[in-house]
Amino acid sequence: MRQGNADVYLRRANGRTVPLTRWKGRDLYPSFSADGKRVAFARRRFGSDDVYVMNTSGKALRRVTRSPEDDSDPTWSADGLHIAFTTFGQNGQNDEIESVGVDGRDAVDLTNNLASDLDPAWSPDGKKIAFASARDDPEGNVYDIYLMNVDGSNQLRLTQTPADDGEPTWSPDGTRIAFVTAPGNRADIAVMNADGSNQAPLTHTGHAFEPSWSPDGTKIAFTSLVKGRGQIYTINVDGAGLRRLTRDRFDDDAPDWQPLP
């Protein structure tokens, strides 16, 4: 991320980093499709964020949402036909989650609550969406991880901790969910089973967030702060093998792992 600007980059297996966008505004929150051939992301244009899609060379750019509110945090359905996203402050109300066809049609409201719902993550089998919701906090400020069907039905609470829990991401086999848990001024990554059981901490840095699971299920990429700047790290799912990937003088954040072909 350059000062006053943000672009989407691709870091190749050889360590080379190449830009996919060169926008004068900001492009954030990239998300790979399940086949690894397309990237959804949020682009700020005309005063608000909308969801866009491009291929992994940065070509074939398509605008998916057209809303006066901010649409962000895109996540793909397993079949690549739909994208779920957060719409921030819809109609002056709370943040909610919607889904839309990749062609921009057939938008559906998935949540509609008195408190905010955000950070959707589509399961690998295409049947569930994990997300964060503040509905159980009387002040509407502390989030927990929830699970729902892709039509918005059967919304179940998975975490019930005093911490602020968000940013869920699925393991490739769909059996586990990693998420950020933030008690007080700390933020670390934890892992649990997809039914909410066996919740356990993974990182202990106090400033780890935006996790993304590797396609082989052995590692998690995440953002961590170094002297106030976001940098990308990876860690094994057993908590070993912490490795720093970027050393830039500007912020690097919101990693997403390209699925294996």
| CATH code for the domain of 139 | 2.120.10.30
Q: Is 206 inside a domain boundary?
A: yes
Q: Is 2 inside a domain boundary?
A: no
Q: What is the pLDDT of residues 203-218, one digit of tens each?
A: 999 999 999 999 999 9
Which one-letter amino acid corresponds to residue 22?
A: R
Q: Is 129 inside a domain boundary?
A: yes
Q: Among 43-47, 93-97, 214-218, which stretch is predicted with the lowest mean pLDDT?
A: 43-47
Q: What domain range is 159 assigned to?
A: 9-244
- Measure the CA–CA gap between 164 and 106, rounded to whole angstroms: 32
∠ CA 83-86-92, rounded to 5°: 135
The pTM (predicted TM-score) of the whole model is 0.94
Q: Is 239 inside a domain boundary?
A: yes
Q: Is 260 inside a domain boundary?
A: no
The answer to whether residues 171 and 178 touch, using CB atoms and an 8 Å cutoff, is yes
Q: Is 152 inside a domain boundary?
A: yes
Q: Is 81 inside a domain boundary?
A: yes
Q: What is the pLDDT of residues 101-122, one digit of tens each?
A: 999 999 999 999 888 999 999 9
Q: Is 49 inside a domain boundary?
A: yes
Total tally of structural domains belonging to the chain: 1
At residue 1, the pLDDT reads: 44
